[in-house]
Structure 1
Amino acid sequence: MASFKCDIVTPAEKLAACEVEMVVVPGVEGEMGFLAGHAPLVSVLADGEIRLTPAEGGPVQRYEVKGGYVQVTDDKVIILADSATPVAA
């Protein structure tokens, strides 16, 4: 499966910068999932869980998010979160 870059950024720090196969975020109207080549998009995030599926395999990375925005371009997803913390596996 094709991969793309994903960054998770809060006002305090950059939590993630990785190559992923899929990103799932909590939108205000429900969950949204993104794969490589997704149409450009900017949307508001709801409180919930972000899930990143790493391109190199391994366990899904999870982050608890409280508000913010997601921006999708043809080769990158940027999550600008009001606050986010990694969820222990």
Structure 2
Amino acid sequence: MALHFELVTPERLVRSEEVHMVVVPGTEGDFGVLEGHAPLMSTIRDGNLEIYKTAGGNAAETIRIEGGFAEVNERGLTVLAERAE
């Protein structure tokens, strides 16, 4: 099973893909999202978004994000960031 992940900024859709897991820098602490995660909304702090493409423990791809919020629902994870590098 794969998690559908989207990263969006006010300017553009940065990513839309199937991944294994994403670790989000929430304002209350980092949290990991896998397929089937319970519905959740969280504000996010400036930090690194870590994207794991497979379950094999490979190194994560890191994207620096600033502000915004994350939503997990039955369709997957959407991160709406003020900025992504």
Q: Same fold (TM over 0.5)?
A: yes
Q: 1:56 and 1:29, CA in 2 relative to 1: closer, same or farther beyond 3 A?
A: closer
Verify the 8 A CA contact 1:42 1:71 in the aligned structure 2.
yes
What is residue 29 of structure 1 aligned with on the other side? 28
Q: Distance in 2 between matches of 1:56 and 1:19?
A: 12
Residue 10 of structure 1 is matched in structure 2 by 9
Deviation (angstroms), 1:61: 2.0
Task: Assess if the C-alpha contact under 8 Å between 1:26 and 1:49 holds in 2.
Answer: yes
- Structure 2: stretches of 5+ with no match in the other structure: none
Residue 10 of structure 1 deviates from its aligned partner by: 0.1
Partner of 1:19: 18
Instruction: Give unmatched runs, 5+ long, in structure 1.
Output: none
Aligned-pair identity in percent equals 36
TM-superposed deviation, 1:59: 4.8
- Give the aligned partner of residue 68 of structure 2: 68
- The residue matched to 1:12 in structure 2 has which SS? coil
Letter in 2 for 1:72: V
- Tell me, yes or no, if structure 1 residue 49 matches structure 2 residue 48: yes
Q: How many residues get paired?
A: 84
Q: What TM-score, normalized by structure 1, do the two folds share?
A: 0.86
